[in-house]
Amino acid sequence: MSDSRAATRYAKAVLDFAMEQKAADKVEKDMKDIIATIAESNELKQVLSSPVVKSEIKKASLKAIFKDGGQITMGLLDTLMANKRLDLLNEVALKYIAQYEQRKGEDVAYVTSAVPLTKALEDKILAQVASLTGKKVTLENKVDEALVGGFVLRVGDLQYDASVASKLKSLKREFTNSL
């Protein structure tokens, strides 16, 4: 939980500075690039989380990978390295985007489903979430086959779990308690 708090604080500090420098959109693009790159590369995930890999190697790797990043993004990388928190990079990027969307009066709805969502289903979810929150909403879909079926929807602090895996756990708990 403290990692999440730390990531939120780093993201807020970067967002405040980016807003002050009128570069928040550029930093948001950089953060989206960071998230996409880390998601695509298992090696990069391992390097960032490994206590064996030296900080200098991590920093050099990140600077080479994100060489097109802006000055603020590079400053974030330097700060995370100096504080030995490079493992938080992906989470900081996610928190930055969420906080920036909120400041713009938008929200991000995260949907985790067993299969990719169809365009029609995405539109239906977006309309429902927009009517509930009263804000413009963008949708991010993540596929997790462990859910078996259904979905988990998270918007801000709210979460709705309609997954089959969740229902199976609930049934198992009921059967175990009744014995």
Asked if 130 and 81 sit in the same domain, the reply is: no
Asked if 123 and 51 sit in the same domain, the reply is: no
Asked if 71 and 118 sit in the same domain, the reply is: no
Tell me the whole-structure pTM to 2 decimals.
0.65
pLDDT average, residue stretch 70-87: 89
- The tens digit of pLDDT for each residue in 146-170 reads 888 888 888 877 788 888 888 888 8
Residue 108 near residue 99, CB atoms below 8 Å: no
Asked if 33 and 66 sit in the same domain, the reply is: yes
Number of folded domains that form the chain:
2
Asked if 35 and 56 sit in the same domain, the reply is: yes
Asked if 85 and 10 sit in the same domain, the reply is: yes
Domain range for 26 is 2-101
Residue 90 three-state SS? helix
Asked if 94 and 130 sit in the same domain, the reply is: no
Among all chains, which residue has been given the structure tokens 């969307």?
101
What's the pLDDT score for residue 168? 86
Asked if 93 and 149 sit in the same domain, the reply is: no
Alpha helix segments (H runs only) across the chain: 2-20, 24-40, 42-49, 55-65, 71-82, 89-103, 119-133, 164-178
CB neighbourhood size of 82 (10 A): 11
Tell me: pLDDT of 47 over 50.
yes
What's the pLDDT score for residue 3? 62
Burial bucket for residue 12 (CB in 10 Å: 0-12, 13-18, 19+) = middle
Tell me: pLDDT of 1 over 70.
no
What confidence category does residue 136 fall into, taking pLDDT thresholds of 50, 70 and 90? confident
